[in-house]
Amino acid sequence: MAFLRTIDKPRIRELYDEVLSIKADLGDELVILAHHYQRPEIVEVGDFRGDSFQLSQMASDQQKARYIAFCGVHFMAESARIVARPEQRVFHPNLNSGCPMADMATGPAVGRALDELTAILPEKETVVPVVYMNTDAATKGICGQEGGLVCTSSNAKKAFEWAFQQGERILFVPDEHLGRNTSHTMGIPDDEMLLYDPNQVNGGHSPEALRKAKVYLWKGYCHVHTWYTPEHIEQARQTYPGCRVVVHPECCSNVVEAADAVGSTAFIVKYVESSSPGDTIVIGTEVNLTNRLAYEYPDRTVVPLSRSLCPNMFRISIEKLRDTLRAMPTMNEIIVPDETIHGARLAMERMLALP
């Protein structure tokens, strides 16, 4: 409740109280999940906050929860549906709140790319799909069927290591930058990576070039994170001498190289938690998370590298959450076909089995 004291809009307070009252009526039957990038009042009203995968796991662990309301973008609610137990029902307060990066890949397009690559590569060589959590259910489904796995920004390196034990090459979908940054941590040079454009035949490359590459990076990106530049970091170091800069691995590699630390949202939260009073931390990720950390740690300076907001996350409002909860189970339910769930679960289980 502490954060709500900063929100003085009576209308938000009213809606917040309505959501609390629905929660009180449903008790343990309802779980509200809030992603780190959600508005403050949504995070406050949530039972759990975290990144998309942590939240899905938390929901399925709630033995009594019949209803899961996922406050995040659409692929996150789908991921919760994939992981949830069959009797649980998953709802999303705004079905129009999608993730543009996740939308840059589709299951059929990834299937086509794998077919193209397999036709070009030497017969005994395998290309293993690795798909980021930030993809739709159909993309995860194809990935699972084709022997690949899902990864998060926390375990991408382990996922790559696993994939290289299964085959010679990786198709990483859909974030070029997470794929490139992960490849760099494994010592893979840029000339062994190819940007794969799904809108061009063979991703826009000759068969010879495709045979030389080790990692194919899907041409996709998150506009929230590619906003940051090395100049932002230079500017921050001038403004806050002695500061430390931490960025998300969806940032471009030149930003990652100029930062002091790089990691997932969970890593960034821990990075601030483990800093000391008086420290200055400059954060390169979605501004709602940075603002909340600044509020929670008033004894240190926590500032955004530059203000970059995810408008898609912002489409979830306390009013839409209230409307969805009120209408439950008749509105905004997430349905994923069984055959898609099967493939997607395979891909997620392979991730869970990573050491």
Please give the residue ranges that form the binding site for ligand SF4 (CB under 6 A).
73, 99-101, 134, 222, 224, 286, 310, 312-313
- Closer residue to ligand SF4 (CB): 263 or 275: 263
Residue 112 vs 223, nearer CB to ligand SF4: 223
187: left (phi > 0), else alpha (psi -120 to 50), else beta?
left
Going from the C-alpha of 143 to that of each of 107, 129, 260, the distances in angstroms are 8, 6, 33
Residues β-bridged to residue 215: 170, 193
Alpha-carbon gap, residue 89 to 248, rounded angstroms: 31
**Sequence-ordered alpha helix ranges (H) in 104-175:** 107-120, 137-145, 156-166
Beta carbon of residue 66, minimum distance to ligand SF4 (angstroms, whole number): 27
Min CB(134)–ligand SF4 separation in Å: 5
**Rounded-to-integer distance, Cα 285 and Cα 302, Å:** 12
Pairing of strands 89-91, 301-304: unpaired
Residue 153 amino acid letter? S
Give the shortest CB-342-to-ligand SF4 separation in angstroms.
26
Q: Which residues contact 45 (CB under 8 A, 6 or more apart)?
A: 16, 19, 20, 23, 32, 34, 318, 321
Q: Decide whether 305 or 313 has the Cβ nearer to ligand SF4.
A: 313
Q: C-beta of 306: minimal distance to ligand SF4 in Å?
A: 14
Q: What is the distance in angstroms between the CA of the first residue and the CA of the last residue of the chain?
A: 38
Query: Considering the complex, what minimum distance in angstroms separates the CB of residue 298 from ligand SF4?
Result: 26
Q: Which is nearer to ligand SF4, 137 or 213 (CB)?
A: 137
Distance in Å, CB of 37 to ligand SF4, minimum: 6
Residue number, 97 or 275, with CB nearest to ligand SF4: 97
Both tokens assigned to 97: 């709140």
Task: Point out which residues pair with 28 in neighbouring strands.
Answer: none
d(CA 235, CA 237): 5
Minimum distance of ligand SF4 from residue 231's CB (angstroms): 21
**Nearest CB to ligand SF4, comparing residues 3 and 227:** 227
Q: Between residues 32 and 101, which has the closer beta carbon with respect to ligand SF4? A: 101
